[in-house]
Each structure stands twice: as C-alpha cells, then as structure tokens.
Structure 1
Amino acid sequence: MRSRHLLCLFVGLMVWSNSLAPTPANAADSASQPNILFVLYDDLGWGDLGCYYQNESKHDRTHQTPHWDAMAAEGLQMRNHYCPAPVCAPSRASLLTGVHQGHASIRDNQFDKALPDVPTVASVLKSVGYTTALVGKYGLQGEGNSAENWPAYPTKRGFDEFFGYVRHRDGHNHYPADKWPIANGDAHANPVELWHNDDEISSQLKGCYTADLFTAKTKRFLVEHQSQSADDPFFVFLSYDTPHASIQYPSAPYPEGKGVNGGVQWLGETERMINTVGPIDSYKHPDYANQGWTDAEVRFATSVRRLDDLMGDLLQTLRDLELEENTLVVFSSDNGPHSESYIQNVNYAPTSFQSYGPFDGMKRDCYEGGIRVPTVAWWPGKIAAGIDQSPSQFHDWLTTFADLAGANVPARADGVSLVPTLLQKGQQATPTTYVEYFNGGKTPNYEDYEPSRRGARRGQMQAIFMDGYKGVRHNIQSHADPFEIYDVAKDPGEANNLAGTSPEMEKLQQRMHDRVLQLRSANATAERPYDGEPIPADESLNADAPMVVNYCPTKTSIVSRLDPAQSTKVDIEGLDLADAVRSAGQGNARVQTVLNVAKTGRYELRLKATGDAVLRVHDAALIDTTGHDKTDASVEVTLEAGTHPVDMIVRLAGNDSVPALELNELPDAPKKSRKPAKQKRKSK
C-alpha cells in the first residue's frame, strides 16, 4: 500500500491578483522578426566541409565546397555543434521539438514513429505570425498511408506547406519517379512516393533529382512569398535527403547562373517540373571524373559538390530578393557520414575523403565523428564572421528561433538561446550537450581510428559535456561503467583518455555519473541500463529554503517558460489558495522549491492540475502533460535520500481548481551503488 511521504505544492500560491501582474508584452512585430531558413543535410560529415577539413587535408583524395566556404567566411562557423543522436530520426525529432534525447519520445532507430503532438519549431513560430514550410525529408509521420491518416503529417505539426518524402525509406532514393536499374534491391530500384500537402505527386517528377527539386521548390517559395506576403516572416526547413543513401549522380550539369533568374528553376510542368530534368544518374562533376577514383567516390564527391552549388544558388536568391539582411540561414547535418552506396556489388566508405575529419567515429557512433556536425550561421549585417568553439546542440535552435521571433518558449524545451553567441550580445547561457543512443553493430575497423575502438561494439551509448570535457561510453552494461573522458579541444581524435588520471578527473567522473541521471527521464520504448538508478541528491541545497513563486499573465495555448521581464514574484504568505487560483486569470505560473527525501527508494510523483504542466526534478522532466489535457499525471522514480530541486510550470486557464503535487513512497526501494568503476588510462 502506498503512503504519502512528503509534499503538497499548490500552484495557487503563485498569484493573488491578476490586476497586480504586469501587462504582457506583445510578440515582436513582423518588421523585427527575421526570416529563418534552416538547411539540414543528410549524413554530411564534419570533414566534408572544405574550410573545416578538406582544404587542409593531406589525404590522397579531397573534394571542394567553394560556396559553403564563402558562406562560412561571411558567417559564424559553429565548429563544436552536435546532433542529438548519430542517426536521422532522433536527430530530426529533437530538432523539431526542442528537447534532447534524454526527453525525446523518438529515440534510437525509431524511424517513421509519429512526432508527438507537442509544440514544434514550426508551431512556435507560426503562433507569432510566421509562414512555415517543410521541403524535403521527414520520416516522423506515424502509421498510415496518406496525408489524411498519417497522425503526425507535417501540416499537423505546425507547417503550412509540405513538399517532400514522408517515409524514411523513400528518402533513400533521389529519383522518386524513376526506376534505378543498378540498385541493390527493389526497395532502392523502384519509384517511391513524394507528397505535396494532400497529394502524392511522384508521377509528375520524371527525371527529377531530389537535391535540385527541393532547392527549386524552396526558391519558388521564396519568390512567391516575397511577391504575395512580403510583410510576413517565414520559416523554411529545407531537409535534404543527400548525400545519404543511394549515391546517385544528378541528371544534368548545374545550370548557368544563380538566384532568381539562374541556377535551378521551378517550371511546374508535369514530367518537367524543374529545369535539370534529364537522363537519371548520369552527370559526373568534371573536377572529379578523371582523377582515377572509384565510381562510388566520384558519385559521392559529385553529390556533395551539387549541394554546395545549391547553397550558393539559395543565397543568391535571397540577395536578388533583397532578403539577405533580414534572413538568418543556418545549415547543419543530422549526423556523421555514412558507409553505403545501395548499388549492386559496390561499396563506399567515408575513408575515401575522411568525411569524419580529424575524429574517430561515423554515423551510429558517439565519438566525435558521429555526432559533431558541420554547422554555419549566416546573416549579413547581424552575424559577424568568426569561429565559435563552444559546444551546442540541435535542441537549442527552437529556443533560439523563439527568442529572435519574440515567441514564447515551451516549458518542455531543453535548449538555451544561442542569440548571444550569434549576435555577440549579452551573456551566453551554457547549453546542455547530451547524447544517448543504441545500435547493435560495431564501430568500423578503419585504419585511421584508434586501435582500441576499431571493431568495438556500440551497444548502449552515451555522451555528456561538462566543465570543458567530454564523457563518452559505449556498450554500457550498467551505470557503474566509467566514462572515457577527453579534452576534445586539445585531443579531437579522443586518443588520450583522462579518466582516473588525477583526483580532479575522479571527481569529474562522479559528476558525470550524477549529471546524466539528473537531466533525463526513462522511456519505455528505449530502455537503458541506468533507467532505474536513483537520481542523485544535491546536498548544496538548503533544505529549508522558501518556496519561490512567479506568475506571468501571458495568454498562451501552451505551458511556457516565464519571461522574467513580464513576471511577478508572488508573496505567498497568508493567501487563500482557492481564491488565489480563481483570481489569477490565464497565464503561466512557476513554482521552485526543494524536495526533502528521507531515504533512498522508489516514489510516485503525482500531479493534479487542470492545465498543461511540466515538472522537473533537477533538470529531468519527469512529468510533461503538454498536449494531453491530463488532470491527474504520475510517474514512478527512484530518488536518493537528500535534497532535490523541483521546478514546475503550469498553464492556468482562469478557472482552475488548486493544483497539487504529491510524493508517495513505493515499496521495495532498490539499493544500488552509483560509484563508477575505475578504468585504466588509454594513451595514443
């Protein structure tokens, strides 16, 4: 039988009168809201960018990226930007929903799983007047077979327009309407579906190479938006399916010129949708065709060069439309480089161009080559040219874009705004950079990888960045397994494992073990060996610290972070709880307090509230009712004896009953040691 152990928190403590709260600020007007173009490549390695690695490489094969290099020279090179997981579905899900993989509902290899009905980058920006579009690869739609019955179709997740591949596997083919005779199986040989809003249109796309097609469609969107809706800001997510999967050639040379009147163009004619329709899989870039490389290498280099040309075309289009000074352009990649060709009896490996750069690891690894991705932010007149070496991650973009747009940040978001870094204004909050992932395979046996990790089993993987160091572990069997610890700024190849080399590293090892339990929550669809471990207490907290309560009257449809400038700190003494809640009106309320746990054990946290709520213990989001309209939500969690910070935000609807949080002790509390095992130092 459960017994109540401790705590009843009342959100009604937060306000005593709506009339005493500040008037909420309006969202930024459209004149101050930047347009946003986010370009995501598929399996483009950090080392594939010319100015990052290829231009200085001593390898016997290199390729060029002149347009990316020019863009990088004008913008901010974010050289320590990380994807959430080293494979596409979880990376794209975390990007769109603004949470890291410790809180995401799509983890590991859950391709085609439905993106949950929660705030997305698109819906957050749409709420403050943005026109939103997704062009390209999606793969987060859920079960179904049409725009009508896919539960998480892009237009049901905040996008006004969608043009592209819905299913994950369809994105392996770069000619949706054409049979590819040299493919290694029917799945990659036969035509696939491509959708535009409610319609499947692949039959109209004969000879269309998707990188060209998606760029031409994006250019068409920019031109039409400028002519029809110039006063409204836009958010375009251009999600390429290349250079991943089938390494297919384009169908024609790159058209002359760039921008509105040159480069790839949208024609809109059946079987001639764009101006590069031609014999499929036929065009080899002349810079690479006669180098003595394998056909697979020429194919890969040509596809990367094509993407580079397309970026130059997009930027010139913005200039031609006089949009460049009010448009933030960011490009990145969903994970590290791949090793497949999907051609009969043909192999390809990222060793050909060392696409992983100076790192070890590739797609599906949590070493740097698998998770550090090439990223550049470009905004003439706003972002100064430079190089940023501080770690950041995909889930920071939702918060960043909301900050720029004057939108409310969902309380469930894990990211921080990168605006101080981008615009060099204000103090940059430290991002949480965290990765977890499972893969049943092994790291490749490449000669330029460290010998100890060649052919090493991946299994359960995890990475955390703390105090300037990276902790990473592969093939995790239990939470006691130690992290390898690297100073990746000095040791990008992760050759010198610092774990156990000094008392400071021993302490950092324990902090990493504690931290990964304090910032994540378990997910039944992606079980981890450390799911049942006690969340460590924080003994630096004052067990008798008073509850801190703030209220913001901003009327939002989601539970949101409170804007400090628009919030009121509430004096909670002597309040009548029921009257306080009824008088509060609509808005978001935040309670911060300390939870005192008498003994280590299993507990039930139960929240009773009529509005959406997000509750964190430490930084672990243990209760998140966003989109569920639950009045009674609970979670079972193991807590270590001691003090734990509680941070809860609830959206009030103006007629709420008094919300409450209960802590109930559960029987059979497990007793597990959190002391990590010692590991021998590994040197080069």
Structure 2
Amino acid sequence: MQKIVATFILAFCAINFIFAQQRPNIIVIFTDDLGYADIGANGMVPDIKTPNIDKLAENGVRMTSGYVTAPQCAPSRAGLLTGRYQQRFGSDDNGVQPVPLDETLIAEHMSNAGYVTGMTGKWHLQPLYVQTNWVRENVPGIPDKERYSPKDVPLDLTMKYYPHVRGFQEYYYGTMYNIWANYDLCGNSIEPQWINADGYRLDNQTNAATTFIDRNHENPFFFYLGYYAPHVPLEATEKYLSRFPGKMPERRRYCLAMMSAVDDGVGKIINKLKEHGVYENTLIFFMSDNGAPLKIYKEDIPLTHKGGAWDGSLNKPFVGEKGMISEGGIRVPYIVSWPAVLPKGEVYDKPVISLDMAATAIELAGKKRPGELDGVNLIPFLTGEKLEEPHDKLYWRFWDQSAIRMGRWKFLKAGSREFLFDLRSEKQEHENLILKHPERAEQMKKELVKWGNELKNPGIPDGDIKREKNWYDYYFAE
C-alpha cells in the first residue's frame, strides 16, 4: 500500500512539474463594485448564488486578506494593470488623470513575452471628463469650465489611451453596448470599428471571452475580463432575475441577478478551457475593483435613478464602503486557480494585493519581473514553497485618507483622525487600539510617511477630511 501511495505522489509531482514547465494561459476576471460578501465561497450571506465561482475557489486558493490599491474604479484598475501603486504616476483617483502613456501595462509585458493578449468589458484608464485639470491642460482651445461633460473630451484624444494601443492585440471593448472591437462574437476578425452590440451586456462580455479562447487556445494567451457588474446602472434579464424570487430590496435582487450572470460566465469560461484541453494549465485570477458602494444606509431607491447609489452588494463582515480605505472599501473577493500547480480548496490568510497579478504573470511568462513593479509572484507562496508573508507592508492613499498594513496591524489616517487596528482580532476595525499601542502606531505612521514621500505628489493627507467626513462620522463614531 505504501508503495502505491508513493508511486501516486511521484506521478502527481511529475505531472505538476511538466505543467509548470509550460507557460500557463492567464485570465484575469475583475468585477466592478462587488463587496467581499457577494461570492458564496466567502460564506457571509445566504442569498448569493455563485456555484461556479465557488467551484473556482474549491479548485484553487481563496484569499481572505486580498486587497486592491484603491476604493474606486479607475485608480484600482491602474494599479492592477500596471502592477504599480498608481500614486507613483499620479492616477490617484477618478478625477485626476488617465494612466500616462509612458506607463507599461501588463498586456505590453505579456505581448513582448510572446503571449496573445485580449480584453473585454470595462477599461476606465482613458481620459475622463471629470479629470478637470487634465482636460484643461490637454484639450486645445477648450473653454474654462468648472465641470466638463463627456463630449468635451475629443474621441481622437481618448482613443490614444484605449486597450488597442496599450498592448491588447484582440479586443471587444465597452461597458455597455457601444463596442470598439477587432473581432466579433462569431469568432471572425474584423477591421477595428465601433459596433452596436445586441443582447445583455454581461452575456456579451462572457461571449467575448469564450470567443477569444476559441480563437487562441493553441497559443499561450492573456485575457482581461472587466465585467461591468454589479456597478450601476443595475440591469438584468428575466433569466437571471427569476432565480431570486421573494421579498427583498429590488437593488439587492438586481445585484444577485447580475452576479448570477457573471457566475454563469465563469462556468462557461471554464467549460471552454476544458473543451480545448487547456483548463489545467490556465491560471485564473478573480477579484473585484473595490468594495460595495453602500451609500451608508443601503437605500432601495428606484432603479431609474441615474446617479450614484447602492448597487445591492454587501461588504460583510468589514467596516465601510467604496471610497473608504477601511476594510470594506479595499478588501475584496480574491481567488487564484491553477489546477496543474496550485493546491485545491486552500484558504490563504496572509495579505496579498491586486499588484501581485502583474508580477506573477510576467514571471510565469518567463520574463524577469521589472524592478519598478510593486507586486510579487504569488505562486511560491501559495504552493508553500515560501512560508513568509508575501509583503512586509501594504500601503494606501486616497483623497484625505492613508493607511499601512504590516502583518496583523493596520494604521489608518483619515485627515487628522488616526486609528490602529488588529485585523486578526475578532473586533478588527470595530476597536481602535491606538491609545493602547501608541509606539506601534507611531512606527507605522513613519513607514507610511516614508512611502508617501516616494510618490508623484509626495506626502500623506493631513488636516480635515472633506468628501469622506460623513462616512467616518457614521462608521467610526466615537
């Protein structure tokens, strides 16, 4: 019996070794405004139904301390796709600037490594009309306005920042139904053009991913799937809504339905990989760009409301929401699956961050990780080859907030208000320990200031908080 077991183990290791010698395909699935609670695998709420995402976790590693670099769409995506803290190049929040053209995105690295690269869904790294100062400085002849509109930013300027000039060879780009594409959902190559897509936006994004796999499964590929869900405007078909009958806030029902559509998509992608015999050697990252926008009270306002509103998602058990660098704003669902190499069903509680995706992908593509990247290759940590924590320190700076995590401890500064939390205690951010451990807080603050001074706009915020005041008054009432 012992001989049989030993033979099995050796065979298993040999298979893993063979796969490890082949460069894996890599798929990055990035949802939009999805809270930590809203995948079933995290076990926080009973009403979410994500069996395919849960299966992804069962066949891979689920991170319980997985972070993004910002609690907002554009800067979080900038960090993910550059592998660098976005404050290093000035893309701190949605209202500042696009990702500069001299920043190298992950798709460019992967293309240079011989990968076929593709993307679909949300981009958000191009010039935005809310970037008032940047628009004034970069749009010739534009009148000075307090606030601009989308039509004020010329399309020819915006296009210089689109995926097709940032390393993505194949693209079906667009959040809703106006799509810039060089292939169609039937698998045909087309001249780059704008098309009006039929069908449901999330199904289209799934179909763009599976079509890309059909077209490129014989070569190593990198695909970025930016699902536009469950971000407002909330939109779902009866196919998905009918899965959630009964009395509940309508915004919650739509969130559940939209995540069910994403979950179906994850299942279709996995089935497509299996169909082509490449599932075992495909590395899949699943994350959200930030926590849910609860708008404090989770009001179930009519779906016709056009402004920002609760998207129906939840951040349980964490404090805060999108826009805050408390855990509810930056700790997100985070799964890594690579069946040929990674253990199955593991839970990893050491802090990791979205920056690690780029570092991991580049090294697995056979290239040396550039020194300017802030992430690490996660694979040795997830296989147990390395037992230490992947990061000594993780940092955040957003609006009037800044924070640092070191091991179990987190120092958070919101304007002049300062907090110290033990994130491995039951109380986490419900108990400010700064008076009990002032020396630790001061040491961490010095490390945070040191990092802040390395950034394009040096320093960490001080003084009164502005946009975040109502949140901190509510969530951290003294």
TM-score, normalisation: structure 1: 0.56
SS at match of 1:248: coil
CA distance, structure 2, for counterparts of residue 344 and residue 683 of structure 1: 33
Which residue in 2 is equivalent to 1:233?
A: 220
Letter in 1 for 2:447: R
CA distance, structure 2, for counterparts of residue 100 and residue 195 of structure 1: 28
CA distance, structure 2, for counterparts of residue 78 and residue 153 of structure 1: 31
CA distance, structure 1, for counterparts of residue 288 and residue 376 of structure 2: 20
CA distance, structure 2, for counterparts of residue 487 and residue 507 of structure 1: 14
What are the residue-to-residue correspondences of 1:5-404 with 2, within 5 Å? 32-55=22-45, 62-110=47-95, 113-142=98-127, 145-146=154-155, 150-165=159-174, 171=175, 174=176, 176=177, 193-197=178-182, 199-203=192-196, 205-206=197-198, 208-226=199-217, 230=218, 232-250=219-237, 253=239, 284-289=240-245, 291-339=246-294, 343-344=303-304, 349=310, 355-385=314-344, 386-404=346-364
Q: 2:369 aligns with which of 409, 421, 432?
A: 409
Letter in 2 for 1:414: D
SS at match of 2:226: strand
Q: Which moved more, 1:336-345 or 1:30-39?
A: 336-345
CA distance, structure 2, for counterparts of residue 493 and residue 104 of structure 1: 32
Kindly state the Cα deviation for residue 103 of structure 1 after the two structures are TM-superposed.
Answer: 1.7
Question: 2:452 matched to 1:520?
Answer: yes
Kindly state the Cα deviation for residue 63 of structure 1 after the two structures are TM-superposed.
Answer: 2.3
CA contact (8 A) 2:126 2:158 kept: no
Question: 2:440 matched to 1:508?
Answer: yes
Q: 1:419 aligns with which of 379, 384, 389?
A: 379
Which residue in 1 is equivalent to 2:150?
A: none
CA distance, structure 2, for counterparts of residue 155 and residue 298 of structure 1: 36
Which residue in 2 is equivalent to 1:190?
A: none
After superposition, the Cα gap between the structure-2 partners of 1:109 and 1:223, relative to the gap in structure 1 and judged at 3 Å, is same
Kindly state the Cα deviation for residue 307 of structure 1 after the two structures are TM-superposed.
Answer: 0.9
Tell me the alpha carbon deviations over residues 199-255 of structure 1, each in whole angstroms, 9 at most, x when there is no partner: 44343x13x2211101101101101112xxx1x3110011111110111113x63xx
After superposition, the Cα gap between the structure-2 partners of 1:492 and 1:34, relative to the gap in structure 1 and judged at 3 Å, is farther
After superposition, the Cα gap between the structure-2 partners of 1:360 and 1:107, relative to the gap in structure 1 and judged at 3 Å, is same
Letter in 1 for 2:280: E
CA distance, structure 1, for counterparts of residue 93 and residue 241 of structure 2: 36
Hey, which of these two has a bigger chunk of helix by percent? 2
The share of aligned pairs that are identical, in percent, is: 27
SS at match of 2:433: coil
After superposition, the Cα gap between the structure-2 partners of 1:156 and 1:82, relative to the gap in structure 1 and judged at 3 Å, is same
CA contact (8 A) 2:402 2:460 kept: no
Kindly state the Cα deviation for residue 525 of structure 1 after the two structures are TM-superposed.
Answer: 6.6
SS at match of 1:38: strand
Which residue in 1 is equivalent to 2:148?
A: none
CA contact (8 A) 1:107 1:526 kept: no
Larger Rg: 1
Letter in 2 for 1:249: A
> Aligned-residue CA RMSD in angstroms?
2.9
CA distance, structure 1, for counterparts of residue 81 and residue 104 of structure 2: 9
CA contact (8 A) 1:117 1:157 kept: no
Q: Which moved more, 1:209-218 or 1:521-530?
A: 521-530
CA distance, structure 2, for counterparts of residue 435 and residue 163 of structure 1: 32
Which residue in 2 is equivalent to 1:616?
A: none
Unmatched segments (≥5 aa) in structure 1: 1-28, 166-170, 177-192, 254-283, 439-459, 532-681
CA contact (8 A) 2:115 2:220 kept: yes
| Structure number with higher relative contact order (C-alpha < 8 Å, ≥ 6 residues apart) | 2
Kindly state the Cα deviation for residue 486 of structure 1 after the two structures are TM-superposed.
Answer: 1.0
Unmatched segments (≥5 aa) in structure 2: 1-18, 128-138, 140-152, 183-190, 296-300, 464-475
Kindly state the Cα deviation for residue 427 of structure 1 after the two structures are TM-superposed.
Answer: 4.7
Letter in 2 for 1:138: W
Letter in 2 for 1:396: D
CA contact (8 A) 1:361 1:368 kept: yes
CA distance, structure 2, for counterparts of residue 99 and residue 516 of structure 1: 16
CA distance, structure 2, for counterparts of residue 412 and residue 217 of structure 1: 32
CA contact (8 A) 2:35 2:315 kept: yes
Letter in 1 for 2:206: T
CA contact (8 A) 1:470 1:485 kept: yes
Kindly state the Cα deviation for residue 349 of structure 1 after the two structures are TM-superposed.
Answer: 3.5
Which residue in 1 is equivalent to 2:424?
A: 489
After superposition, the Cα gap between the structure-2 partners of 1:413 and 1:530, relative to the gap in structure 1 and judged at 3 Å, is farther
CA distance, structure 1, for counterparts of residue 161 and residue 390 of structure 2: 32
